[in-house]
């Protein structure tokens, strides 16, 4: 498998197979990331298309990257901010399942959600938008702090504190109510939430 740097250089030079690879390998994750900012599937798809259109136009003028997904997430977030009415705030969308914005009572009624999962979902929904976003970027997307700082426009110390506080809050919930190891939270987050 090629490294991101080599694929990116091929993409920049106009290689159609590199373009297809970058697009198909990243569209779904870009969509999942984008829909958390604006619950408008068509707008998010348009923003993704706009990102790729601009990248193709820029071609050789694009800078180098070691992590294509990071580069695309940053570009997508900027595109979403530009596309959304400037007077309305863009927020990281609360956790969703089959339909957006399910109420706690509806979550409790779902057969496949255990009491432990319900407690975790409720705790995760109580985190701030920025805390949910940093958990998503760090654990689901496996991004480094430098990349997270760039996307979220944070300083390194601020990003670490934000993630620490989010995990600390979740750990308190786990210890107090569920008596589970923190590893369970990370696996649960990747599977169901982020």
Distance CA 90, CA 38 (A): 7
Burial 2-37, CB ≥16 within 10 A → b, else e:
eebeebbbbbbeeeeebbebbbeebeeebbebbbbb
Where does CATH 1.10.10.10 sit in the chain?
104-193
84 Cβ neighbours under 8 A, 6+ residues apart:
38, 43, 90
Distance CA 134, CA 140 (A): 10
Max Cα-Cα span within the chain:
55
Instruction: Show the tokens assigned to 125.
Output: 């929904």
Q: Which fold has domain 104-193?
A: Arc Repressor Mutant, subunit A (1.10.10)
**CB count in 10 Å sphere of residue 170:** 22
Distance CA 96, CA 192 (A): 9
Contact 91, 129 (CB under 8 A): yes
Predicted pLDDT at 97: 38
Predicted pLDDT at 156: 92
For residue 146, the surrounding DSSP H or E stretch is helix 145-152
Q: Please state which of the four CATH numbers 1.10.10, 2.50.20, 1.10.1740, 2.40.50 is assigned to the domain occupying 4-83.
A: 1.10.1740
Where does CATH 1.10.1740 sit in the chain?
4-83
Predicted pLDDT at 181: 54
Predicted pLDDT at 45: 93
SS (H, E, C) 49-115: HHHHHHHHHHHHHCCCCCCHHHHHHHHHHHHHHHHCCCCCCCCCCCCCCCCCCCCHHHHHHCCCCCH
Distance CA 42, CA 179 (A): 41
Per-residue pLDDT of the chain (194 residues; tens, 9 = 90+): 468 889 999 988 888 898 899 999 999 999 989 988 888 899 999 999 999 999 999 888 888 888 899 899 999 998 998 888 643 555 555 544 333 334 444 545 554 456 667 777 777 778 888 888 888 888 888 888 998 998 888 999 999 999 999 888 888 877 666 555 555 555 555 554 44
């Amino acid at each position: 498998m090629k490294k991101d740097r080599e694929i990116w250089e091929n993409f920049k030079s106009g290689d159609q197979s590199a373009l297809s690879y970058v697009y198909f390998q990243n569209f779904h994750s870009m969509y999942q990331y984008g829909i958390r900012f604006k619950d408008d599937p068509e707008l998010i798809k348009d923003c993704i298309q706009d990102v790729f259109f601009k990248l193709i136009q820029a071609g050789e003028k694009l800078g180098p990257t070691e992590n294509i997904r990071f580069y695309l997430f940053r570009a997508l977030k900027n595109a979403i901010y530009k596309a959304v009415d400037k007077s309305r705030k863009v927020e990281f969308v609360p956790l969703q399942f089959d339909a957006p914005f399910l109420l706690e009572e509806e979550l409790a009624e779902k057969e496949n959600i255990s009491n432990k999962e319900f407690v975790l979902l409720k705790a995760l929904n109580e985190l701030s938008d920025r805390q949910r976003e940093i958990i998503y970027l760090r654990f689901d997307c496996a991004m480094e702090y430098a990349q997270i700082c760039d996307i979220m426009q944070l300083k390194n110390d601020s990003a670490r504190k934000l993630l620490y506080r989010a995990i600390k809050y979740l750990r308190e919930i786990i210890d107090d109510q569920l008596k589970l190891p923190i590893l369970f939270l990370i696996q649960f987050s990747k599977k169901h939430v982020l």
